[in-house]
C-alpha cells in the first residue's frame, strides 16, 4: 500500500494559499518600475507572491501523486476482495459438486442393486451379485422430495421456451432419486379473454427415473396464455422401491410476472375442483 492523504487537506491548503495571494495583491504593489532590471522591479511582496504560486504548483503535483496512490490502493483492495470472493465461490462450487456426485453415486448404487448388480469403483467394473441369499442394501437412502422451483427461467420451474415456442417444465428430486411414478397430471390453461382449457401432459411416466432434475415439454399452447395451473396427484417411490410417497401439489405460472408459485388453501381447492369439473365434462 502507498501513502495516501485525504483530499480535504489539499483543499484546505489550496484555500489558504489562494487567500494569501489575494491578500498580498491588495495590500501593495508587486513590482516597482523605478528600477531598470526585471528582478530589481519585483518587490518583496511580489517575491512572496511568486513563492506562494510556486507552492501552489508543487501542491497540485503532490495532489496528483496522492490521487494516483489512492487509485493504486483501491485497485489492490478490490483485487484482494475479488480473490477472497473467488476462493469462497470455488469452495462452494466444489462442495456442491461433491455433494451432487455423492447423491448421484448413491442413487445409482441403489438402482443397480435392484438389478442384482454392483459397482466396483476400484476396478471400474459392474459385477453381478448372487441371487441367493438375498442381497441386503446397506446404503442409507434419503427420502426424495419432488419439487418445482418458484424461480422461472430456462431449466428452472415452469418457463416459456422461446426457441421452439413451447412451455417446458423442470422437476427436481431433492435428497435422492425417485421412480415408479403413479401420478395424474392436469394442466389448466387460462387465456387473456377468460376462457380456459384443460390438458393432461405426460411427463412423469411410471418407470421414469429422476436422479436430480428432469426437463420435459409441458404444453404447445402458447398464444394469449395468461396463467397456467399444474396439478399432480398420486404416488412415487425411492429408487430401491422400499418406500412410497404421496403427492398432491398445485403450481401456477403467471406469464406477466414469469413466476411459478406453489398454491395451497382456498385457491388450491377452487382450482382443483374446477379441474375435476372440466375433466368430467370432457
pLDDT 10s digits, 145-166: 888 877 656 667 898 888 899 9
Which parts of the chain fold into alpha helices (H)? 7-27, 38-41, 44-114, 265-281
Backbone φ and ψ of 222, nearest 5° = -130, -20
Q: What's residue 274's pLDDT?
A: 94
Q: What's residue 109's pLDDT?
A: 62
CATH fold of the domain at 145-281: Immunoglobulin-like (2.60.40)
Enumerate long-range contacts of 15-19, CB under 8 Å, 24 or more apart: 17/52, 17/55, 17/56, 17/59, 18/56
Q: What's residue 156's pLDDT?
A: 76
Closest CA to 118 of 143, 132, 137: 137
Closest CA to 168 of 185, 183, 184, 153: 153
Q: What's residue 138's pLDDT?
A: 42
Q: What's residue 79's pLDDT?
A: 61
Dihedral in degrees, nearest 10, Cα atoms 72, 76, 78, 81 = -170
Give 230: exposed, middle or buried? Use CB within 10 Å, 0-12, 13-18, 19+: buried
Q: What's residue 112's pLDDT?
A: 59
SS3 (DSSP) at 135: coil
Q: Domain residues of the chain, as ranges?
A: 7-89, 145-281
Flag residues of the chain having pLDDT under 70: 1, 32-35, 37-39, 75, 78-141, 151-155
Amino acid at each position: 500500500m502507498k501513502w495516501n492523504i485525504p483530499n480535504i487537506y489539499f483543499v484546505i491548503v489550496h484555500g489558504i494559499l489562494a487567500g494569501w495571494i489575494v491578500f498580498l495583491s491588495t495590500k501593495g504593489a508587486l513590482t516597482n518600475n523605478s528600477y531598470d532590471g526585471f528582478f530589481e522591479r519585483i518587490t518583496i511582496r511580489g517575491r512572496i507572491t511568486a513563492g506562494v504560486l510556486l507552492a501552489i504548483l508543487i501542491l497540485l503535483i503532490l495532489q496528483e501523486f496522492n490521487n494516483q496512490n489512492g487509485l493504486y490502493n483501491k485497485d489492490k483492495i478490490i483485487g484482494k476482495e475479488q480473490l477472497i470472493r473467488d476462493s469462497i465461490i470455488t469452495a462452494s462450487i466444489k462442495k456442491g459438486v461433491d455433494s451432487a456426485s455423492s447423491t448421484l453415486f448413491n442413487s445409482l448404487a441403489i438402482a443397480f442393486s435392484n438389478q442384482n448388480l454392483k459397482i466396483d469403483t476400484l476396478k471400474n467394473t459392474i459385477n453381478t451379485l448372487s441371487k441367493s441369499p438375498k442381497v441386503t442394501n446397506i446404503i442409507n437412502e434419503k427420502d426424495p422430495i419432488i419439487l418445482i422451483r418458484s424461480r422461472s427461467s430456462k431449466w428452472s420451474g415452469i418457463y416459456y421456451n422461446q426457441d421452439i415456442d413451447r412451455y417446458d417444465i423442470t422437476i427436481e428430486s431433492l435428497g435422492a432419486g425417485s421412480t415408479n411414478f403413479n401420478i395424474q397430471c392436469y394442466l389448466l390453461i387460462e387465456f387473456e379473454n377468460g376462457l380456459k382449457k384443460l390438458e393432461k401432459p405426460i411427463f412423469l411416466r411410471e418407470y421414469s427415473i429422476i436422479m436430480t432434475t428432469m426437463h420435459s415439454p409441458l404444453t404447445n399452447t402458447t398464444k394469449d396464455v395468461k396463467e397456467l395451473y399444474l396439478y399432480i396427484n398420486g404416488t412415487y417411490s425411492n429408487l430401491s422401491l422400499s418406500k412410497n410417497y404421496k403427492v398432491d401439489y398445485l403450481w401456477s405460472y403467471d406469464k406477466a410476472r414469469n413466476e411459478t408459485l406453489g398454491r395451497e388453501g382456498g385457491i388450491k381447492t377452487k382450482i382443483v375442483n374446477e379441474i375435476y369439473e372440466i375433466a368430467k365434462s370432457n
